[in-house]
Structure 1
Amino acid sequence: MEPVTVIGAGIAGLSAALALRNRGRDVRVLERAEALREIGAGLQISPNGYSVLSSLGLGPEIDRVSRPSHAVVLADGLTGAEVVRMPLDGPFRLIARPALIEVLADAAHATGVEICLGQAINALPSEGLVVGADGLHSVVRTALNGTDRPFFTGQVAWRATVEGNRPDLARVDMGPGRHLVRYPLGGGRVNLVGVEERNEWAEEGWHTAGDPDRFRGAFSGFPDARDELDRVESCALWGLFRHPVAERWQDGRCAIIGDAAHPTLPFLAQGANLALEDAWTLAEALDADDLPAWEAARKPRVTRAISAANVNARNYHLRGLPRFVAHGGLRAVGMVAPTALPSRFRWLYDYDVTA
């Protein structure tokens, strides 16, 4: 079997390296950073992503370093009142991104994957197969598709973690033109992600420092979150830009996965999960020597997931009468059929690429 070079040591790259190594391939990972340092943000792993982690042999370790999520609560941010509680069925986990990266990196090292840090990539390797897991500004995506022009969505996202404990669920406080997501990460930490609409754009990427006072100010009208926002000592800010799903994912020798192929906005918590799916299915496709079929199968699914995330972005930020009507409808559905809302996403969560 041909050796594989994976570019990027994030979730997509490390999970792909592990899946490929488990199938007997020689794999090296090239990472631009000098160390595998990740910001302390949180992730929600849904059953479609967990099935990949479990099939990679990482289920017990993921359970050890994460918290379960039993529900998603949608709340009125302006009053703090619960609008609807959606119970979750299956292995939903809440985890710090650094913890997931560490689990994947340790497993990859243990199986013999070579991880090379401090490797800036300006040209593609000339030998073997190449997997581009190099994110939003992917060198491999550009080689396959040329450049594209993402556009600013008019929204920015704040990220922070603070000391504290919360119930084992994800809470979304919805307000006019903004929403705030909070959930526990374990170890006495809580993850905060706030999205606000504004004309002033911010740099794309997770490593731009934000102003904690501006973060607090953006959500000062959310009374239930006040205590946690007051604990924010540092935060990251990034502008949300919409990129198209790549027109071309592979050419027989190179392939792109994760954000390199389909950048996903954080409104359905699926970026990491879709990357895990990509990694597993790509390893299968390389074994079958059928990358075109892999691309054809993956594109419709990720496109549907991205469209669903974009709908959430609109619904969380409603104003005026539409907001009043929508919240009333959610309350009614929650009282009559509490499982109806999460069941709308069974096509997403119940899909097991490892089956």
Structure 2
Amino acid sequence: MYSQGISVNVVGGGIGGLSATLSLLAAGLDVHLYERAPALGEIGAGVQISPNASRVLHRLGLAEALARTAVRPLALHQRRWNDGRTLQRAPLAGPVEARFGFPYYHMHRADLIAALAGAIPAERIHLGHRLAGFTDTGDGVRAQFANGVGAESDVLVGADGIHSLVRAGLFGAQSPRFTGCVAYRGLVPESRLRDLSIEVTMQAWLGPGRHFVNYFVGGGQLVNFVAVIEQDSWTRESWTDRGDPADVLAAFDGWHPQVRGVLEAADEAFIWALFDRAPLDHWSRGRVTLLGDSCHAMLPFMAQGAAQAIEDGATLAACLAAAGPDPAVALHRYETLRLRRATRLQAMSADNKRRFHLPDGPAQRERDEQLAAGSTGWSFDAIAWLYDHDAAMATAGRPG
């Protein structure tokens, strides 16, 4: 028996779709999730979960599951590319939890997917269902899948990523835009890196035309790395290919020995073209809406992609739980509450690409002075608007 009397079908079984399904179930809605792949999984390696997202996950009962595999980093440590000089060091772990009430986590994406999926009744997740189309009848939405299955619901949610078929059905097909960056991603066993004395921090090494990030995942057993490089075009058919570690090592020639050491220890690296989309004016139409990368795909330079998708699901659930007889009104409220906040983070993430990759010179020195003074978006005071946000309570306040 579902207290709200509203049925919801969610398309997409990534972090956004799973967390939305769990939030909607917790709010008493009748929810089913449909995923095109034959098994749940996640391309990529590490994910950062800041307090604005861990607040949601803990309330959904996942604190114990997260504690088993997540790492609580001691600090955010931004460093200069060649000499390793500290540009800014902001405390995380205990201080961030004391300030914002919930932890900052580093996780393997597969561990987060497993925690979310494990909290959802198995009969609510339908694998091997690729969306073929949908029809909003005004009284409900019928989703049609390529395997011949049809599913009726009061509301349809597109959580199907940057290639979203739900988005295309609502607003027409539009190609994502290449952002001029590619990322090499990989995992290295911690045991191979002990001679490097890597701290349990999120290290971001900033340099001309590129940057490098490393942090621990997998309960501290693995080091995740992301090496972002600017390039003019992307000609591969796939966005995620197996790359040659020698190529990325050559691209970081002259960088700090710790950066080089991580790359030298890597057996493999996957190359990932970074795409985004222009911000939308609307996310919803009738009884159909979007969340996560389907409506606000962003560069990873604020570490907020997954967190914002988790926030979306919590706010959507709160809006639908408070809905009257017309769910479309609740979807409009959800969009109003979420769109400005997500669009702001899209813009900030894009701006960080420029800031992180400044060539050595006057602008770079000015940036480094700002980092040292704590006047950038990474200081606690400046980031409070982001980490203090309570997505489940947003319906009671102003749009974010």
Same fold, judged at TM 0.5 (above):
yes
TM-score bracket, shorter-length normalisation? over 0.9
Shift of 1:237: 1.3
- Provide structure 2 residue ranges, at least 5 long, that are not aligned to the other structure: 98-102, 135-142, 144-150, 324-329, 394-400
Quote the Cα distance in structure 1 between the aligned partners of 2:370 and 2:284.
44
Q: Is the 8 A contact 2:210 2:230 kept in 1?
A: yes
TM-score by length of 1: 0.93
Deviation readout 1:121-158 (Å, 9 max, x if unpaired): 11121621211110011111111111224322211111
Deviation readout 1:151-201 (Å, 9 max, x if unpaired): 222111111111126422100001100000100112420010111111142
Amino acid at match of 2:183: A
Deviation readout 1:27-73 (Å, 9 max, x if unpaired): 22111111112235101100000011011111121122101023111
Amino acid at match of 1:351: H
Q: Is the 8 A contact 1:76 1:82 kept in 2?
A: yes
1:29 aligns with 2:33: yes
Structure 1 pair 206–278 and aligned structure 2 pair: CA distance change class (3 A): farther
Quote the Cα distance in structure 1 between the aligned partners of 2:291 and 2:220.
31
Q: Is the 8 A contact 2:293 2:309 kept in 1?
A: yes
- Provide structure 1 residue ranges, at least 5 long, that are not aligned to the other structure: none
Counterpart selection for 2:188 from 143, 156, 162: 162
CA-atom RMSD, angstroms? 2.1
What is the percentage of aligned positions where both structures have the same residue? 39
Quote the Cα distance in structure 2 between the aligned partners of 1:312 and 1:191.
20
Amino acid at match of 1:170: M
Quote the Cα distance in structure 1 between the aligned partners of 2:378 and 2:305.
24
Counterpart selection for 1:180 from 198, 201, 212: 212
Structure 1 partner of 2:130: 120
Q: If you compute each CA radius of gyration, which structure gives the higher value, 1 or 2? A: 2
Q: Is the 8 A contact 2:48 2:104 kept in 1?
A: yes
Alignment of 1:315-354 (within 5 A): 315-321=355-361, 322-331=363-372, 333=373, 341-354=379-392
Deviation readout 1:261-286 (Å, 9 max, x if unpaired): 10011100000100000011111111
Alignment of 1:266-305 (within 5 A): 266-289=300-323, 290-305=330-345
Between 1:196-205 and 1:152-161, the stretch displaced more is: 196-205
Q: Is the 8 A contact 2:47 2:109 kept in 1?
A: yes
Q: Is the 8 A contact 1:250 1:291 kept in 2?
A: yes
Q: Is the 8 A contact 1:87 1:338 kept in 2?
A: no
Shift of 1:247: 2.9
Shift of 1:320: 2.9
Counterpart selection for 2:348 from 302, 308, 319: 308
4+ residue segments displaced more than 6 Å: 337-340
Counterpart selection for 2:111 from 96, 99, 124: 99
Structure 1 pair 226–189 and aligned structure 2 pair: CA distance change class (3 A): same
Quote the Cα distance in structure 1 between the aligned partners of 2:378 and 2:240.
38
Quote the Cα distance in structure 2 between the aligned partners of 1:258 and 1:205.
21
Quote the Cα distance in structure 1 between the aligned partners of 2:260 and 2:62.
36
Count of residues paired in the alignment? 350
Structure 1 partner of 2:172: 146
Shift of 1:339: 11
Quote the Cα distance in structure 2 between the aligned partners of 1:8 and 1:203.
25
Structure 2 partner of 1:209: 242
Shift of 1:206: 5.9
> SS at 2:307's partner residue?
helix
Between 1:289-298 and 1:49-58, the stretch displaced more is: 289-298
Quote the Cα distance in structure 2 between the aligned partners of 1:343 and 1:9.
35
> SS at 2:392's partner residue?
coil
Q: Is the 8 A contact 1:141 1:246 kept in 2?
A: no
Structure 1 pair 62–205 and aligned structure 2 pair: CA distance change class (3 A): farther
Quote the Cα distance in structure 2 between the aligned partners of 1:169 and 1:238.
24
Q: Is the 8 A contact 1:156 1:238 kept in 2?
A: yes
Structure 1 pair 245–200 and aligned structure 2 pair: CA distance change class (3 A): closer
> SS at 2:302's partner residue?
coil
Q: Is the 8 A contact 1:131 1:255 kept in 2?
A: yes
Shift of 1:222: 1.6
Structure 2 partner of 1:221: 254
Between 1:280-289 and 1:256-265, the stretch displaced more is: 280-289
Quote the Cα distance in structure 2 between the aligned partners of 1:196 and 1:353.
33
Q: Is the 8 A contact 2:216 2:224 kept in 1?
A: yes
Quote the Cα distance in structure 2 between the aligned partners of 1:69 and 1:14.
25
Quote the Cα distance in structure 2 between the aligned partners of 1:307 and 1:338.
15
TM-score by length of 2: 0.83
Q: Is the 8 A contact 1:67 1:94 kept in 2?
A: yes
Amino acid at match of 1:278: D
